[in-house]
Chain A
């Protein structure tokens, strides 16, 4: 075999030499033969003719020899590619349109694949991430409740199903010391099992173990690589020393690796969760940020869910209602990856589908272009066939031409994709743990190669098939006979239908998303966001309730100073400003029991917020009935609450909720009845697109429960909002320098951010639909022009027989309109079938929304008619004499 490889190299790289040798050999042979014939008595010219005859033609023999050489196929490909390149360069406008079209398609697809790959396809940066799951509980009305520590205690006993289960509570600490300014840290309090469960090890030091996860144990902390490098300059001696968190000493046990983050990309430190036995019995307070588990090998999520049903039943038996805060209706697990990418997933898949459509349209367009080229090159192809080129050779040659086009388009497309990545970054959720850089890498190139291959075969075989159908005899006659019957559907016309169908689906999708976005944009969220500034003054969570009185006093002082600041009209504190708790779609809720209610579950749940009296005034939330809180609602006065309309309607239907009473169903201490003194309008707290849920507000002086701590300061200003930010920051620092201030932003900005993903999706899809529309327009124009050229003869005869230009115009346009309408019908059917995919992304709009459907159809039909108009006009200009004579 080495001999053969040697030959291959020689054939490829010393092509001229090899060819020259062959030529020499054949000429020598010809000479030998001629001599032979001359010896038989022929004259030299005669002998030479005879010799040539016997040899069978030098070029023919050469071609035969080439056919058996090593690397023959490669050689053909290279020659075909060279020919293709020459042909393409000779027709620059055709080539430019084809390459640009394909580049658009492949660029969009590549860019979107980059995003999808980064967000959805890359494995989570943990060991065997496929077996990691997160836990949720379904409680009446709340489908994805955060877990309670008591739930976690039950789940972790299921050792047959889970290798390990770890709890995680998100907290916030202030890092001080070393003369640097106070820094607020995202800290996760986690079970020590978490690290072996995820299969991660620290870069330096060690992770904490069960011994450090006990009440009374030393304070230990693990810090992120980013914090270690940024704040501590990568000091190797930090491990074993202590740092100041909330003014207390915490010993640094270890530094995590650069690629580790859990559960958010922004998490800076991890501490033991230190759940007390009381907490582990607490089934009522749902505040754990996350509980993750690792399935045993071979156990599926379904099996785990089946087992969790039994756990739920056992728990209901052991903790009968209402002592424990009520039965969970159901527990379930889902793959951790799904939890992390849940919000982004549908939107990304939709956009991926959209760019695939663009690619298909682009391919159809290029196929149509190539098809008309085959028609123009008919003579050349037929000549080649007549000279002995096999069908497969012709097919291969046309395919090579497509491949050259596609490769050029691909290169340009990757450049498009690269340049759009900066813009597409916004599609990646900020909190994603697998924060790989967004770029065109090896995986993407592999994907690209596959796309290139498939699309080349797709649009490259169309002209090939057409060429194979050419009838040698007919075509060679120069004047092909043409009939005047109705033109049968041509391949190009099929492409028109396909392009129109794909475009209409994209247009409808874009229309629906835009309409959803606008509906949301003009939606009344229940509060007025303009001229409101929000600041987050996070509270040290470890002592959430311990220093309650001191903190209340501090908040009172801050509020007093803020209120009297110039430019401030009103100010209030709350436990959570609207739209501040929307992440990951998880909500903590409060169990309660309405007085006198006979309820199946014994308890109900509602969201809760603690506010200072002016809260509703700052946000201009209107009061429906009753009164707002005032300074008289103090710690020692009667416990009161204000509820929203939804809560009033749900639990006191057809009654006045005013003066009704309810109490908390918390496990530990008995709580007093709470009287409803007001009903306020619903506010879209959890996201503008989320329907309001039952909700209750409590005066801050009557706050109870360790999560009812005020964090967010809301300020209504008379002038421009941003100016006040720094003033207020300094004001807080002057009252308590250790109090970190974060998330200084306007309420309008929060609203903006809340709808930003929808806006981005809608605008992107609209852009893609626009591209589709223009590609389809070019495609229709190309095919119709081609059809008119094809029909020139027929049209000439019609004109000669007395058809008016108007008739001809109508005939051509009619054909285009028919094709378009056919495409629209196909597209509408396809759109109806895929309506479910998009339904989850819509807001107050149905997939069958008549306005969008009509608009899309009218727009597309208009563009299609426009695209047909020019070729139709051209058809009327056909001179019967010229058309007839030309054949």
Chain B
């Protein structure tokens, strides 16, 4: 992602991360892969953006982390949605849907 798009989509990244970990706990690389997957390859999050976001959200209490064994039996830090995170996810989804509606209407009006 280019710098400018990253700025524009900073909020979006939060939403995507929350969405990614809402189904099951994931580690950093897993979250990256999941985002690529659920956006059908449209977004490839750089780790330079992902990890800061993860730590920020962890400090905010939206997600929490725990060390556990990964699929191939190596230890990894897994992130899981908290109660607060679930609320945040709902709020962000609502906002996003609203924004999409507004933008769609605006684009079609011309």
Contacts and interface: CB of A to CB of B under 8 A. Distances in A.
A associates with B:
yes
Interface in B70-102: 70, 72, 74-77
Interface stretch (A57-65, A385-393, A766-774, A796-804): A57-65
A28 B75 contact: yes
Nearest to A5: B59
B75 to A, nearest CB: 6
Interface stretch (A31-39, A435-443, A657-665, A729-737): A31-39
A24 interface: yes
B60 A3 contact: yes
The range of chain A's interface size is 20 to 34
Interface string A217-259: 0000000000000000000000000000000000000000000
Contact of B59 (A24, A29, A32, A69): A69
Interface residues of B, number: 23
Given A25-B51, A28-B75, A32-B74, 4 more contacts: A4-B60, A32-B29, A55-B47, A61-B48
A754 B30 CA distance: 89
A28 B76 CA distance: 6
**10 tightest Cβ-Cβ pairs between the two chains A and B:** A3-B61, A7-B59, A68-B56, A68-B52, A25-B77, A32-B29, A64-B52, A56-B48, A29-B28, A28-B76
Contacts of A301: none
B108 interface: no
Interface of A: 3-4, 7, 21-22, 24-26, 28-29, 31-33, 35-36, 54-56, 60-61, 64-65, 67-70
Given A29-B29, A36-B29, A67-B52, A54 B77 contact: no
A72 to B, nearest CB: 10
Contacts of B61: 3-4
B86 to A, nearest CB: 15
B39 interface: no
B75 A65 contact: no
Contact of A31 (B55, B59, B74): B74
A26 B46 CA distance: 13
Contacts of A65: 51-52, 55
Given A7-B59, A25-B28, A65-B52, A32 B47 contact: no
A25 B60 CA distance: 19
B27 interface: yes
Contacts of A36: 29
Contacts of A29: 27-29, 47, 76
Contacts of A64: 48-49, 51-52
A25 B29 CA distance: 10
8 contacts: A4-B60, A7-B59, A24-B77, A29-B47, A32-B74, A35-B72, A60-B48, A69-B55
Contacts of A24: 77
Interface centre among B28, B49, B51 (most CB of A within 10 A): B51
A70 B61 CA distance: 12
A32 B49 CA distance: 18
Given A4-B59, A67-B52, A56 B74 contact: no
Contacts of B60: 3-4
A93 B18 CA distance: 56
Contact of A28 (B46, B58, B77): B77
Contacts of A25: 28, 51, 76-77
A56 B77 CA distance: 19
Nearest to B77: A25
A24 B66 CA distance: 12
B28 A54 contact: no
A10 B46 CA distance: 27
Contacts of B49: 64
Nearest to B59: A7
Nearest to B46: A56
A65 B70 CA distance: 23
A708 B55 CA distance: 90
A777 to B, nearest CB: 52
B57 to A, nearest CB: 9
Contacts of B74: 28, 31-32, 35
Interface string B2-24: 00000000000000000000000
A851 B34 CA distance: 87
Contacts of A22: 55
A54 B76 contact: no
B49 to A, nearest CB: 8
A22 B74 CA distance: 16
A293 B55 CA distance: 68
A379 B24 CA distance: 51
B47 A56 contact: yes
A21 B66 CA distance: 11
Contact of A70 (B29, B59, B77): B59
A339 to B, nearest CB: 61
Nearest to B61: A3
Contacts of B27: 28-29, 32
Contact of A61 (B47, B59, B72): B47
